[in-house]
């Protein structure tokens, strides 16, 4: 490992970046250095511009991938190398606004019926029943299930933040049946075959994808689709958007508010201000004539 890579890794660790983010940032910077066959210390803003254009024009990467690369380079140059540059030296691609995919209640029933493994069915039901991210669900520990207060403790969620998620009565029953049948050993609720490790997010994504195919769902279904469905169905049932924000662990309310645009039921139930207009009585003038208000 080069001294520069070691220092960047230490800077990431000092700022408590998630392990996955650390690995991605280091990999992005390494790819940047390989492209020019030079150390990043010897490259400037024009090199950053050329590289990002290469990713867009030649490799046809998505806006999300471009922005992650830009963020990694920004951290390297502004934090580790302490270059006197600004944010404008790290352009970001404009992301297309896409509505999240949401499953109906009927689609969810068909989906869960096609998950043969008790372990995977329980983990996927946690994602829908509590609105957890895939990384949060697989990392749950047995001690995180608080059946007394009907809460799930989520440790080090996105951004390294802890929070509580809801534990419904039905989800608790599912988890109890799973625990009795599987008797997971160790701390993790969904342990891996590797000692002291939890099930990988990739394995849960695979189980999700295969169940969606067997259920005949034409939508592109991922584990995150279950989280989107959780939020949308709560909104449709009348739950305050600020409560949903807390349950999802969103730091910004506008991130949660986007679910209002994917709920046809909520939109259809909204009363138009035109329907609230009432005819007002006309006023009478001093001459006895009535005139509209």
Whether 198 sits among the annotated catalytic residues: the reply is no
- Find residue 154's DSSP bridge partners: 163
Catalytic residue among 74, 198, 227, 228: 227
Q: Which long-range contacts (CB under 8 A, 24 or more apart) does 233-242 make?
A: 233/105, 234/131, 235/259, 235/260, 235/263, 235/266, 236/263, 236/265, 236/266
The one catalytic residue among 51, 128, 178, 259: 259
Query: Is residue 158 among the annotated active site residues?
Result: yes
| CA terminus-to-terminus distance, the chain | 80
DSSP H or E stretch at residue 49: helix 45-57
Q: 44 Cβ partners below 8 Å, 6+ apart?
A: none
- Pick from 239, 237, 232, 240: which is nearest to 260 by CA? 232
Q: What crossing angle do the helices spanning 105-113 and 201-214 adopt, rounded to 10°? A: 110
Known catalytic membership, residue 290: no
224 is catalytic: yes
Count Cα atoms within 13 angstroms, Cβ side, for 213: 6
Check 28, 74, 119, 133 and give the catalytic one.
133
Residues 6+ apart with CB under 8 A from 272: none
Provide the greatest CA pair distance for the chain.
95
Query: Is 227 annotated in the active site?
Result: yes
Rounded to 10 deg, the angle between the 63-74 and 45-57 helix axes is 160
Among the options 92, 209, 250, 258, which is catalytic? Answer: 250
Q: Is 160 helix (H, G, I), strand (E, B) or coil?
A: helix
- Is 77 designated active site? no
Q: Under 8 Å CB-to-CB from 166, ≥6 apart: which residues?
A: 129, 130, 131, 150, 151, 152, 247
Which residue out of 5, 158, 163, 258 is catalytically annotated? 158
> Catalytic residue numbers?
133, 158, 224, 227, 250, 259
């Amino acid at each position: 490992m080069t001294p520069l890579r070691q220092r960047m890794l230490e800077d990431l660790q000092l700022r408590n970046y998630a392990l996955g983010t650390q690995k991605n940032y280091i990999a992005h910077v390494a790819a940047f250095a390989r492209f020019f066959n030079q150390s990043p210390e010897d490259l400037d803003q024009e090199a950053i511009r050329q590289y990002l254009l290469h990713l867009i024009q030649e490799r046809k990467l998505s806006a999300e991938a471009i922005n992650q690369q830009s963020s990694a380079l920004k951290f390297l140059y502004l934090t580790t190398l302490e270059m006197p540059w600004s944010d404008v030296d790290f352009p970001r691609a404009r992301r297309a606004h896409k509505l999240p995919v949401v499953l109906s209640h009927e689609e969810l029933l068909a989906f869960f019926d096609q998950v043969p493994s008790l372990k995977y069915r329980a983990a996927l039901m946690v994602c829908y029943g509590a609105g957890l991210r895939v990384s949060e669900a697989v990392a749950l520990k047995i001690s995180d299930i608080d059946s007394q207060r009907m809460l799930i403790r989520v440790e080090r969620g996105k951004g390294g933040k802890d929070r509580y998620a809801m534990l419904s009565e039905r989800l608790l029953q599912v988890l109890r049946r799973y625990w009795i049948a599987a008797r997971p050993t160790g701390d993790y609720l969904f342990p891996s075959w590797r000692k002291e490790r939890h099930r990988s997010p990739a394995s849960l994504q695979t189980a999700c994808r295969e169940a969606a195919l067997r259920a005949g769902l034409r939508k592109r279904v991922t584990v995150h689709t279950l989280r989107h469905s959780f939020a949308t169905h709560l909104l449709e049932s009348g739950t305050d958007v600020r409560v949903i924000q807390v349950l999802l662990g969103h730091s910004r309310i506008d991130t949660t508010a986007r679910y209002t645009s994917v709920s046809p039921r909520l939109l259809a139930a909204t009363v138009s201000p035109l329907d609230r207009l009432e005819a007002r009585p006309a006023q009478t003038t001093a001459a006895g004539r009535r005139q509209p208000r």
